[in-house]
Amino acid sequence: MPVPRRLTTAIMACAAMIGALLAACPQVAAASTPVTRQALGGTQQQLLRLYAAYRHIPVTDVARVVPGSVHVATVSRTGAEWALASFLPSAHVSLGALTGFQDGGRYGIFTRTAGGSWKIVGLGGEPLGCGTAIPAPVRRLWHLATCPPASSARPMFSTGTMGALASIALAQVGVGDNPVSQSFGLDCDPYTTLVGNTSVSDSQCSSTSNQPYFGSTQDRNEEWCADFNKWVWEEASVTSDRSTLTASAASFYTWGKDHNESMPTDPKNPQVGDAVVFYPAGPAPNGSYADHVGIITAVNQDGTVDLVNGDFAGGTDISVKYNTEVHLGSWSAGVWNSGEQWIFVSPGLPVSGSVGVSAVLDKVDGNLEVYRPTPAGGDLDEDYWKSGKGWSGWASPGGSAITGTPDGVYNPASGNLEVYATGTDGTLEEYYWNAAKGWSHQSLGGSITGSPSAVYNPVSENLEVYATGTGKNLQENYWHSGSGWSGWKSLGGDITGSPSAVYDPLNTDLEVYAHSAAGTLWEAWWGTGSGWNTQDLGGSIAGSPDAVYDQAGGNLEVYAAKSGGALEEYYWNSTAGWRSQSLGGSITGTPSAVYDTFSDNLDVYAQDTSGSLDEIYFKSGTGWSGWQSLGGSLTGSPCAVNNPGSGALEVYAPAGDSVYEAWWNPASGWHNQNL
């Protein structure tokens, strides 16, 4: 068992606090004080028995009252007394019983009239005590956090796999217990049934309160924050080892450990879609007990996050709550206690912002093309720059709804400009343009996740497209003049996220790199005569990679974000083979690397954790430059490209409903604007 959480408030100590982080308590004259602190005396065992009866568990399942956790107050006007106490589970309790102590369930709130007997009126909830009608003066005396008003805000999160996970969670805000409950003793929810825990009792439970979404799903009585998170992950197509996830919030740590994730306590690199697991003070993290698990739905520029939390008390019902602009340290101290710790667990899906952006030079007419899903409907959206005329403005060529980041490529074999994207039904969508016919569209089938990567192979004269299959293997489909599309073929692997394909002129090989399910960099390459080969390049990365050939250095380069936010570089040449190093930084998402033909630098761009566009570059003879910020307020990963028409190095990134453009030329340096 972890070291028990202790409510450090000494009953008579003025500096004590549970929720608010105050430096000291003001002295208040006794005559004007509506409530006073009291000593509980010898009734702790009575409270323990009331707590066990309220939760319908044996008294032996409760070990004891946490020392120092009892708080008592008397309302002077009425003489009514209120008490708050925290209880520890016994060492022998089952996993199912242990989950009842999480999500604020280990706190009991009690009251009695002047001269009357104690009775329990509810469990702690989150924020502490918001599910019960504790008088406001008592809340202030105990320094409990203010109960937030019910929120109906449901901000829009666009497509992209991690963004889609956040959208799924946000769509559930307000779904509550049925029947309505403010007590974790009767905690009837639909998610327990939806994740397959049908052995849990449905006694006294009704069908779901979210009928338009779930139909008539039978609710079941279980502490359900972990069930909610698991359901969201399932809906977002997290397929790996879901049986590891149980009704225990700590099972998310076990899942992350099984996937070789680095999960330090109190990290500073949250990503949209991460699960955040909260632990009491003491040894953490562990797979035995956690207070709660929630979902990060936004990372704000000031370092705060927005959370969706299942099984939260407060207001009129236990429900899915939406908490915005959360400082995790002070917020978790207010919900549970000071010393609360947390970890992030990534579901291993591609990291994306509100939209994905790609850019490509159209060698047919010299235009610089930028593509994204439309912010409103998810169709392909195009904006292009023509020398002498400027930007065309956003317009959709039609087709099917897409998700993630489209990938554009020029196909010299057909003379077409090609764009590939993942359809919302998991198929590969192809858009292609030529001067004679304009835009055409077709579905190439398949069952893929993440975003595709397209490349022209001059050796085979094939147009190649790669994607992660729903079975977590690398999928290939290629087009050859005269024979058309090959159809889908699995190249093996155990990968997640989105692959990155590049032609390697060093060996005339076609190379594909991906984030393995084990958290390493995985490589597949094809050579004339040898066919397909694969190997694991090791390391520890947290997201999808980007690959580029460095013309100046003669290296094949691959870049990816590490779990701590640093940029990891892998590079290969025929003399030394594979090597790797950390380039530091504090980035999120997928970096974009490009050989800058104007300066002969190798440039890498990434979204930093504050939302800005960051750059680091390598120059032969002087080495790496160090990081610099190029501004912006990004909501996703960038894409960099050379634009010979303007003589500039161009970088594009999603910025809400806009696209942030930063461009550099030797004469005038950096400029930026929103498209």
Q: Residues 564, 493: one domain?
A: yes
Are 566 and 435 contained in the same domain?
yes
Q: Is residue 302 part of a domain?
A: yes
Domain boundary among the residues 142, 173, 200 is at: 142
H or E element in which residue 514 lies: strand 509-516
Segment 180-185 shows an average pLDDT of: 80
Q: Domain of residue 514: give its range.
A: 365-674
Read off the pLDDT band of 301 (50, 70, 90). low
Alpha-carbon gap, residue 72 to 110, rounded angstroms: 9
Percent of the chain with pLDDT over 70: 85
**Average pLDDT of span 151-169:** 53
| Shared domain check, 167 and 42 | no
Q: Is 207 part of a structural domain of the chain?
A: yes
66 plus 120 within the same structural domain: yes
Task: Tell which of 310, 345, 380 closes a domain.
Answer: 345
Region 218-224: what's the mean pLDDT? 90
- For residues 545 and 561, give the distance between their C-alpha atoms in angstroms, rounded to a whole number: 8
pLDDT at residue 11 tops 60: no
DSSP assignment string, 60-124: GGEEEEPTT--EEEEETTT--EEEEEEEEEPTT--HHHHHTTTTTTTEEEEEE-TT---EEEEE-
127 lies in some domain: yes
533 shares a domain with 667: yes
- Dump pLDDT digits (tens) for 584-595: 988 888 899 888
CA proximity to 347, closest of 279, 295, 423: 295
Considering the domain architecture, whether residues 177 and 39 belong to the same structural domain is answered as: no
Q: What number is the average pLDDT over the span 34-46?
A: 63
**pLDDT level of residue 33 (50, 70, 90 thresholds):** very low
Residues 458 and 550 in one domain: yes
Task: Please indicate whether residue 648 or residue 308 has the higher confidence score (pLDDT).
Answer: 308
Q: At what angle do helices 251-258 and 225-235 cross, to 10 degrees?
A: 40
pLDDT band, very low/low/confident/very high, at 8 (cuts 50, 70, 90) = very low
- What's the domain count of the chain? 3
The answer to whether 229 touches 252, Cβ cutoff 8 Å, is yes
Question: Does residue 295 fall inside a structural domain?
Answer: yes
Which stretches does DSSP call E strand in 300-401? 305-312, 319-326, 341-345, 358-362, 367-373, 380-386, 390-391
Instruction: Give the percent of the chain with pLDDT over 90.
Output: 14
Judge if 323 and 179 occupy the same domain.
yes
What average pLDDT does range 133-137 have in this prediction?
76
At 414-461, the pLDDT tens digits run 888 888 988 877 788 989 888 788 888 888 888 888 889 998 888 888
- Residue 277 is predicted with a pLDDT of 97
Q: Supply the DSSP string of 246-292, one letter for each residue.
A: -SSTTHHHHHHHHTT----SS-S---TT-EEEEE-SSS-S-SS--SE
Whether residue 260 is found in the same domain as residue 179: yes
The pLDDT score that the predictor gives to residue 162 is 67
> What is the per-residue pLDDT across 570-581, written as a single tens digit (0 to 9) for each?
988 878 888 888
User: Domain end: 86, 112, 142, which one?
Assistant: 142
Query: Tens of pLDDT along 183-200?
Result: 777 889 999 988 888 888
Q: Are 601 and 517 found together in one domain?
A: yes
Whether 3 is covered by a domain: the verdict is: no
When pLDDT is averaged across residues 386-392 and rounded to a whole number, the result is: 85
Residue 544: CATH number of its domain? 2.120.10.70
pLDDT of residue 163: 64
Higher pLDDT, 404 or 407: 407
CA–CA gap between residue 418 and residue 410 (Å, rounded): 6
- The predicted-structure confidence for 309-354, as pLDDT tens digits, reads as follows 999 877 677 889 888 888 999 999 888 888 999 999 988 765 443 4
* Residues 337 and 196 placed together within one structural domain of the fold: yes
Query: Has residue 568 been placed in a domain?
Result: yes
Instruction: Kindly state whether residue 101 falls inside one of the protein's structural domains.
Output: yes
Strand partners, 409: 418
Residue 499 is predicted with a pLDDT of 93
Grade residue 131 by pLDDT with cuts at 50, 70 and 90. Answer: low
**Residue 459 domain flag:** yes
Instruction: Please write the tens of the pLDDT for every residue from 253-290.
Output: 999 888 878 889 998 878 778 899 999 999 999 999 99
Check whether residue 562 and residue 592 sit in a common domain.
yes
The confidence score (pLDDT) of residue 619 equals: 86
- Write down the mean pLDDT value for the chain: 80
